[in-house]
Amino acid sequence: MAEMFHEDDADLAVIQSKTVAVIGYGSQGHAHALNLRDSGVNVVVGLREGSKSVAKAEEAGLTVKSVEDAVKEGDVVVILAPDQVQATLYKEQIEPNLRPGAALLFAHGFNIHYGYIKPAADHDVIMVAPKGPGHTVRREFEAGRGVPVLVCVEQDASGQAWPLVLSYAKAIGGLRAGAIKTTFREETETDLFGEQDVLCGGLSKLIQTGFEVLVEAGYQPEMAYFEVCHEMKLIVDLINEGGISKQRWSCSDTAEYGDYVSGPRVIGPEVKEHMKEVLKDIQDGTFAKRFMDDQAAGAPEFKKLRAEGEAHPIEAVGKQIRSLFSWSEEVDKDYTEGSVAR
């Protein structure tokens, strides 16, 4: 069983005695910065000049400085920029301005585990990774609750890295729910595997393929969308509430029986073997190199694959169906507007 930590395992005074520089003010950045501030921690947010987030952070009452100046003040520097920009950001703006002995904190282990960032030996390298999006981390904190977190120490230069990481986890509300002790390697590899094989890659392809099979068999696209995509949320919500057993308990006997006899026909032994192949690419760095090389080249493969996904017939049908839902009139606005800007 995993080792777990709770509120009584951490001393909030440890992080309250530090100045924390939060680099980035996106989903996780805003949640960490605000929760830390509300826990009595001195926080400075580091953002690039011209960032739209500057106004948001200042409106929230936070101190905002350039990345370089924020890093110079930080006893703990929290790197919450996207994976693909962290290495350059670290080399050019963070590393030259780090205080001696400053701790480096991440919310995902990608760049440390694969060696894209290699901190000097005098820095603690730690992680606090909330298992939920930033807006949930903030909302739950404000409600007096918390989102579970993963905690780990990659490099304990000070000999006090564990008290520091637990204190930080407490300050953002994570220990209210509980923290699981792990490693940078385990967090990174399981996170990528879950995203690629099940949560994003596996699920998206399963939905698209199911849609194609029904439409190619002559069924109306709208019917196909409802059956393989729209109702997915109902099933996932039940699984989230009580596991696969509750989902099976809640659905009809017909659906449950079909689950048992047909699921293994779709997700057979060959799928498991392909999952193992994906895991191997994650473990040996093949995926990381492919992603980072593509990003460095301007992301041609990434952009091509994104465009192909957006052109799939299920997207047009889905947009039409979602327009019928009076309770979610603007449901497509956020990501469609975002796609124009990206």
CATH of the domain at 17: 3.40.50.720
Find the mean pLDDT for residues 20-31: 96
Contact 17, 42 (CB under 8 A): no
Q: Looking at residue 268, which CATH number applies to its domain?
A: 1.10.1040.10
95 and 208 belong to one structural domain: no
Asked whether residue 326 is marked as a ligand-binding residue, the answer is: no
Please report the beta strands in 12-93, taking only residues with DSSP state E, as ranges in sequence order: 19-23, 42-46, 63-65, 76-79
Farthest CA pair distance, the chain: 67
105 and 166 belong to one structural domain: yes
Q: Which of 6, 30, 32, 108 is catalytic?
A: 108
223 and 96 belong to one structural domain: no
pLDDT-derived band at 135 (thresholds 50, 70, 90) equals very high
Report the mean per-residue pLDDT for the chain.
94
Candidate from 13-17, 118-122, 336-340 with smallest mean pLDDT = 336-340
Answer whether residue 341 shows pLDDT above 60: no
150 and 12 belong to one structural domain: yes
Is 108 catalytic? The answer is yes
- pLDDT for 281 equals 98
Residue 106 in any domain: the answer is: yes
- pLDDT for 335 equals 56
Which structural domain range is residue 144 located in?
7-182
Residue 174 in any domain: the answer is: yes
> What confidence tens digit (pLDDT) does each residue in 253-271 have?
999 999 999 999 999 999 9
Find the mean pLDDT for residues 301-319: 95
pLDDT-derived band at 126 (thresholds 50, 70, 90) equals very high
- pLDDT for 323 equals 85
Provide DSSP, 104-138: EEESS-HHHHTTS----TTS-EEEEEESS-HHHHH
> What confidence tens digit (pLDDT) does each residue in 162-183 have?
999 999 999 999 999 999 999 9
Residue 86 in any domain: the answer is: yes
66 and 107 belong to one structural domain: yes
- pLDDT for 287 equals 98
pLDDT-derived band at 50 (thresholds 50, 70, 90) equals confident
Q: 127 or 49: whose pLDDT is higher? A: 127
Asked whether residue 252 is marked as a ligand-binding residue, the answer is: yes
Contact 147, 137 (CB under 8 A): yes
pLDDT-derived band at 295 (thresholds 50, 70, 90) equals very high
Contact 109, 190 (CB under 8 A): no
100 and 49 belong to one structural domain: yes
Asked whether residue 323 is marked as a ligand-binding residue, the answer is: no
One-letter amino acid at 314 equals: I
Contact 149, 129 (CB under 8 A): yes
- pLDDT for 333 equals 65
Asked whether residue 27 is marked as a ligand-binding residue, the answer is: yes
Q: What is the distance between the alpha carbons of residues 267 and 183, in angstroms, rounded to a whole number?
A: 30
275 and 137 belong to one structural domain: no
Residue 167 in any domain: the answer is: yes
> What confidence tens digit (pLDDT) does each residue in 229-249 have?
999 999 999 999 999 999 999
Residue 206 in any domain: the answer is: yes
One-letter amino acid at 78 equals: V
- pLDDT for 39 equals 98
Reported pTM:
0.90
> What confidence tens digit (pLDDT) does each residue in 183-233 have?
999 999 999 999 999 999 999 999 999 999 999 999 999 999 999 999 999
150 and 212 belong to one structural domain: no
51 and 151 belong to one structural domain: yes
243 and 139 belong to one structural domain: no
- pLDDT for 2 equals 87
Asked whether residue 328 is marked as a ligand-binding residue, the answer is: no
Instruction: Return the closest-CA partner of residue 43 out of 20, 27, 65.
Output: 20
- pLDDT for 328 equals 58
Residue 336 in any domain: the answer is: no
Residue 49 exposure: Cα atoms within 13 Å on the Cβ side? 3
pLDDT-derived band at 330 (thresholds 50, 70, 90) equals low
Find the mean pLDDT for residues 68-73: 98
Asked whether residue 231 is marked as a ligand-binding residue, the answer is: yes
Residue 36 in any domain: the answer is: yes
Q: 174 or 340: whose pLDDT is higher? A: 174
Find the mean pLDDT for residues 150-160: 98
Number of structural domains in the chain: 2
| Three-class secondary structure of residue 3 per DSSP | coil
217 and 261 belong to one structural domain: yes
- pLDDT for 308 equals 96
Q: Which residues have CB under 8 Å from 61's CB, separation 6+?
A: 37
Asked whether residue 248 is marked as a ligand-binding residue, the answer is: no
Residue 331 in any domain: the answer is: no
Asked whether residue 227 is marked as a ligand-binding residue, the answer is: yes
